Amino acid sequence: MDKMQGETVRLDRASNRLLIVDQTRFPNEKVVLELQTLDEMVVAIQTLQVRGAPAIGVAAALGLSVLAGESRETDAEKFKAEFLKNADAIKRARPTAVNLAWAVGQMRDVLQENPDVPVPVLKELLYQKAQALHDADVAVCRAIGENGAPLLKTCKRVLTHCNAGRLATVKYGTALAPVYIAKEQGHSLSVYADETRPLLQGARLTAYELCEAGIETTVLCDNMASYVMGNGLVDAVLVGCDRVAANGDTANKIGTSGVAILAKYYHIPFYVCAPFSTIDLNTETGKDIPIEMRNGEEIRSLWYQKPMVPAAAKTLNPAFDITPHELVTAFITEKGVLQPEDFKTV
Ligand code: MRU
């Protein structure tokens, strides 16, 4: 039987392990990792074995439940101190996707809401909360798909950047959820997947999962988006996001803002698909979103037999960029198709 049961992230209760599909191994291998220690979990998030804003949030919550289950502390205060230390280490693993901090916050709330309960009960409550966050991700992504699919009724071809599909969530994805739901409803779209340098999430992951689902997929180098848009081959752009500021400025995989600028130029609708856990009303504008800087070796040598950058050249490797809110046609969320002014009222 498929250990993952069609999901990207899950908790196996019998073994008390966090199970993740290792996203560094696609498209050539499907490997399931079973994680049990804090170090394994932090490394999995930092090295993108588990990645995509919703998936890292759920992995963090399930991971904290696993660590709580492994704890030998019997004194509630010491158990809580250990839990908070683990929570802090996991939260710090990646800075940009707010879902990570949000999910860790949800788990910490369990302790605050239950001040006087013994350790075994706390462990069970933490498990239930983590599992609820996991289940909610499936429902929320499906709702994003259902709200987005009607917007694509007259579209034939969409373009996406990075991977915001089922591999980036527990199941349906965010940006690709409308494509999956449209297919369920009998409307097949074809997808242009930007390869997404330097880590190739589009080429390796988006193309993998769409082809597996029987959806026509064409991989483009990142610098080809203008070509396809300019030739009238793209009817809409769908992207995911790692954090949306209160004014609608959106952090997503590096290169997204360039795609948004092109979409505006060619008069193509540009939709950001987001669960509400990605909307951070405490962050006013995109300027306040921390951008993760990653190792230059991802650019210099990762996919090559020999380095492809002269040793004397420097590298710059920001993992995300900010798309200004005025370039976003609408936000497709589980609560409907929204504009930033709706965030506080829905
Ligand atoms: O660095 P990654 O691969 O975690 O970046 C992921 C993205 O930028 C996704 O588009 C975003 O997290 C949304 S996933 C539904």
pLDDT in tens, 262-299: 999 999 999 999 999 999 999 999 999 999 999 999 99
CB half-sphere exposure, 13, CA atoms < 13 A:
7
**Ligand 1 pocket test target in 94, 252, 271, 322 with most atoms within 8 Å of CB:** 252
φ/ψ of 338, rounded to 5, equals -125, 160
Give the C-alpha distances (Å, rounded to integers) separating 114 from 80, 94, 120, 130, 194: 11, 28, 12, 15, 46
Using the atom order of ligand 1, give the atom closest to the CA of residue 320: 8
**2 pLDDT exceeds 90?**
no
Q: Report CA-CA distances (Å) from 242 to 212, 245, 248.
A: 25, 10, 12
Mean pLDDT of 194-213: 98
Do 317 and 266 form a contact (C-beta atoms < 8 A)? no
| Tens digit of each residue's pLDDT (9 = 90 or more) over 311-325 | 999 999 999 999 999
Report the candidate in 94, 42, 56, 83 with the shortest Cα–Cα distance to residue 293. 94
Residue 242: active-site member: yes
**Gap between the Cα atoms of 132 and 277, Å rounded:** 14
Closest to 229 in 3D by CA, of 194, 182, 188, 203: 194
Residue predicted with more confidence, 239 or 3: 239
Give the model's confidence band at 163: pLDDT under 50 very low, under 70 low, under 90 confident, else very high: very high
Does 328 have pLDDT greater than 70? Answer: yes
**Token digits of residue 81:** 């101190």
- The pLDDT tens digits for 221-265 are 999 999 999 999 999 999 999 999 999 999 999 999 999 999 999
DSSP state letter for 80: H
Out of 12, 75, 137, 242, pick the active-site residue.
242
Rounded to an integer, the average pLDDT of 6-27 is 97
Residue 145 Cβ < 6 Å to ligand 1: no
Q: Which atom of ligand 1 is nearest to the CA of 162?
A: 10
Instruction: Tell me: pLDDT of 1 over 80.
Output: no
Cα 316 to its chain centre, rounded Å, is 22
Atom 8 in ligand 1: residue holding the nearest Cα:
253
- How many CA atoms lie within 13 Å of 252's alpha carbon, on the beta-carbon side? 33
Answer whether 253 contacts ligand 1 (Cβ < 6 A): yes
Give the residue, by CA position, lying nearest to ligand 1 atom 6: 52
Question: 145-160, pLDDT tens digit by residue?
Answer: 999 999 999 999 999 9
What spacing in Å lies between the alpha carbon of 206 and ligand 1's midpoint? 11
Q: pLDDT (tens digit, 9 = 90+) per residue, 77-128?
A: 999 999 999 999 999 999 999 999 999 999 999 999 999 999 999 999 999 9
Percent of the chain scored above 90 by pLDDT? Answer: 99
Mean pLDDT of 205-222: 98
For residues 13-19, average pLDDT:
97
44 CB near ligand 1 (under 6 Å): no
